Amino acid sequence: MKRIVQQSIFLIFISLNLQAQEVNILDFGADPSGKFENSDLINILVDSLSTSGGGTVYVPKGKYLLNDAIILKSNISLKGENSNETIFFRDSVKGGWSISKAQGLITTNPAAANHNIHVSHVQVNGNFKKKASRGKAGIALRNCSKSSIKDVQTFNTWHGVAFYDFKGDDSQNIIDRVISTNAHTFTSKDNSGRPRGILSVDPGSKILNSKSFNAGTGFYAYGKNITLEGNHAEGWFEDNGYYLIVDNLTVKNCSAKGGPSPEKGYGSGFAIGYKKGALIENNLAENCDNYGFRIHVPQSNTKLINNRAIGCGNGFGIETASHPYPEVSSDIYMEGNLAQNSGIHGFLFRQMENSQVLNNKAINGNQRMLTLSTRGAIALKDYLKNNTFSNNICEDNQNKKTQLYGLYDFSVNDIKSASKKGKNNKIKHKSKSGKDVF
C-alpha cells in the first residue's frame, strides 16, 4: 500500500489546484477492502486540499483500515456515503496505535486554530475492549470553531465523538444525529476521566438528536453556553447518563434510561452541577439507581420544568456530598415535574435558598420502603431558607401503599440543630394520600 501512496503523491499535488473541490479517495488508490492501510493517503489528500483552500474528501462505501489517525485541517470536510457502509476501523492487533499521540481515529492538531471542519456519513470502530487502557476516541475535533460532526456512528472507543480545546468564547460547533455505542475504554490504567459517548467542552456548542449506548458516561459537557436537545443516553456504567457542568446550560427533550428495570440501572440520569443558569425542560429519566435529576450544590439560577423521573432512586434532588454548608443552591425554580415509582423520595431538598417548588407531583414513592432517614415523598431536610413549596401533589394509588408520608419536613421532629433547621420557608400543601409533617 505504501507504493501506491508514493505513486499517488505527485498526481495529488498536480490535480488539487482548485478551491472547494471534492476528491474521491478511490481515485488515488485507497483500499476499501479492509486489507491495506489508508491513513497516509487520506492525510496527503487533506494536506493538498488545505494548501489549495479546502474541499471535501469523499469516502465511498467500504471498510478502510487506519493504522494511524486522520488529521483534518481547516476548511476540510470528510464525507462518507452513509454511516452503515463507509467504515473506518482500527486493527486491534496490528498498526502503530500503541505509540500514536493522536487522541482520536479522526482528529485535528490542537496546536492550530482549526475552523470549518466537517465529518459526516461515516462509521468509526476503534475495536478497543471494555475498560482496557490506551484507548482512542472515535472522532475528536480539537481547537475547532464553526465545525460539525453529523450522521456518524462510533463503536468501541474511548470517547465516541468529542469537541474540546477551543480557545475562544463561541465555537458554534455542532454534533447532530450521532450514535455512539460502547464508549467504554480508557486512555490509561489510572485515568480518572470516564469514557464518554458524546462530549463537548467548547463554549457555544450544540449536541442535537444524538444517542449514546453503553458508555461510561452517556453525555458530558463542561464550560458555558452549551445546548443539548433531542438526545438519548442508555446503559451507562461508570457515572451518569448526562453529566453537565455548564454556565448557561439548556437541556430540552432529552432522555436517559439507566437499565431495563430500576434494579438494573446505574447512577443518575441527569447530573447538573456547580454552575449558574440552566433550563432543564421536557426531559425523561428512567430506571436510574441514584437520581433521575441530580442538582449539585452550588448550582443556582436553574429552572426544571415539566421533566419526568420514573423508577429512579430519588426522582429529583439536591446533592451535597462534596459541597457542605455554607454552600447552597439558590434561585432554583421547579414546576410541573413528575416523580413516579421512586425508590426513596420523589423530591429531596437540602442546602437550598430563595427557591420555588410549585405544582410538582410525587406518585407512588418509597418503593425501597420507609425508614427514619427516608420518609416523605417530598422531603425537606437541612439548611433550607426562604423557599416556597406550594401546590405540589403527593399521591399513592397502589393497592399496597408504600408512600406512608407525603410531604415531610425533617425540621419538625428530626433535625435538632438550630443552625440546620429550615428558616422562613413557605409551605402550602396537602397530600392526596400519606401523612404530612411540616
Span 127-133, average pLDDT: 91
Domain assignment present for 199: no
DSSP string, 11-65: HHHHH--STTEEEEGGGGT---EEEEE-HHHHHHHHHHHHHTT-EEEEE-SEEEE
Looking at residue 191, what is its pLDDT? 62
Confidence band for 108, pLDDT divided at 50, 70 and 90: very high
Domain that holds residue 251: 240-438
Domain assignment present for 370: yes
Q: Tell whether the model's pLDDT for residue 193 goes beyond 80.
A: no
Domain assignment present for 254: yes
Cβ–Cβ < 8 Å for 163, 173: yes
Quickly tell me which residue has 463503536 as its cell: 155
Tell whether the torsion through CA atoms of 342, 346, 349 and 354 is positive or negative.
positive
Alpha-carbon 3 to chain mean position = 43
Total structural domains within the chain = 1
Domain assignment present for 103: no
Q: Give φ, ψ of 39 to 5 degrees.
A: -65, -40
Burial of 369 (0-12, 13-18, 19+ CB in 10 A): exposed
How many Cα atoms sit within 13 Å of 227 on the Cβ side? 15
The larger pLDDT score, comparing residue 232 to residue 369, is at: 232
State the average pLDDT for the chain: 93
Q: Tell whether the model's pLDDT for residue 324 goes beyond 50.
A: yes
Residue 124 three-state SS = strand
DSSP string, 322-342: TS-TT--EESEEEES-EEES-
DSSP label at 346? S
Q: Tell whether the model's pLDDT for residue 329 goes beyond 60.
A: yes
Q: Tell whether the model's pLDDT for residue 20 goes beyond 70.
A: no
Domain assignment present for 172: no
CATH of the domain at 360: 2.160.20.10
Confidence band for 3, pLDDT divided at 50, 70 and 90: very low
* Max mean pLDDT range (321-325, 365-369, 405-409): 405-409
User: pLDDT by residue (tens digit) across 151-170?
Assistant: 999 999 999 999 999 999 99
Looking at residue 96, what is its pLDDT? 67
**Cα–Cα distance, 436 to 438 (Å, whole number):** 6
Q: Tell whether the model's pLDDT for residue 6 goes beyond 60.
A: no
Domain assignment present for 67: no
Domain assignment present for 407: yes
Quickly tell me which residue has 446505574 as its cell: 266
Name the nearest CA neighbour of 134 among 101, 165, 109.
101
The larger pLDDT score, comparing residue 1 to residue 399, is at: 399
Q: What is the CB neighbour count within 10 angstroms for residue 3?
A: 8
User: pLDDT by residue (tens digit) across 232-276?
Assistant: 999 999 899 999 999 999 999 999 999 999 889 999 999 999 999
DSSP string, 160-221: SEEEE---SS----EEEEEEEEEE---SSTT--SPPEEEEE-STT-EEES-EEES-SEEEEE
**Cα–Cα distance, 45 to 15 (Å, whole number):** 11
Q: Tell whether the model's pLDDT for residue 120 goes beyond 50.
A: yes
Q: What predicted TM-score, i.e. pTM, was given to this entire model?
A: 0.95
Looking at residue 1, what is its pLDDT? 45
Name the nearest CA neighbour of 255 among 201, 218, 289, 221.
218
Domain assignment present for 14: no
Confidence band for 372, pLDDT divided at 50, 70 and 90: confident
